[in-house]
Amino acid sequence: MPNSNFFELLGLPVTFVVDMKLLSSNYRLLQAKFHPDKFAHASDAEQRSALQSSSLINQAYDTLRHPANRAAYLLEMAEDRLRTDHTMRPDPAFLMQQIEWRESLAEVDELDNPEAALEHLLTEFKSALKPVEVEFSEAYATANYELAHHAVDKMQFIYKLLAEAEAVEARLLDE
């Protein structure tokens, strides 16, 4: 398997907007070709190679199917590595929004109808993703990597908050 980026590996154009059906289809084709089970009777070297190829295919698929991971990978490919310092000026409006969302999520259990309140929050979180994805896409397309980094940070926060809300939802359903 040639050493290529995840987009090339999965036969996709290098862009933030990905055809999810094509991604899934190409992933299945590659896994069928390189799955380690197909090499059970091959030499040790061929088995290792198949395992490495399968692992790389899985990593590529997992990265490209999730918008925040795909955005971070695009920035990495642009050789503008994700920053390790936190010198970029934060977005005060988004910081306030984060605080409000966290407070709302923390107070769900205290409400008369926590399920309805949680459903409203989940809808709000999901609808907040689309403009952030557009923000990333536009910033990346114009090589505005600082703004693109901000958008990735926002996406990652919202996805984390969604996961926390879904955990609260699961807990409420179990009660």
Tens of pLDDT, residues 41-73 = 778 788 788 888 888 999 999 999 999 999 999
Determine the longest span between alpha carbons in the chain, in angstroms. Answer: 64
Domains of the chain by residue range: 6-65, 92-174
Class of domain 6-65: mainly alpha
Q: What does the block give as tokens for 168?
A: 């609260």
Residue 175 above 80 pLDDT? no
Q: What does the block give as tokens for 5?
A: 């980026």
Q: How confident is the model at residue 83 (pLDDT cuts 50, 70, 90)?
A: low
The CATH homologous superfamily to which domain 92-174 belongs is: HscB, C-terminal domain (1.20.1280.20)
At residue 86, the pLDDT reads 44
Q: How confident is the model at residue 156 (pLDDT cuts 50, 70, 90)?
A: very high
Contacts with 108 (C-beta within 8 Å, 6 or more apart), sequence order: 114, 117, 118, 121, 168, 172
CA distances (Å), origin 146, targets 28, 99, 159: 35, 23, 20
Residue 10 above 70 pLDDT? yes
Of residues 9 and 42, the one with the higher pLDDT is 9
Distance CA 78, CA 75 (A): 5
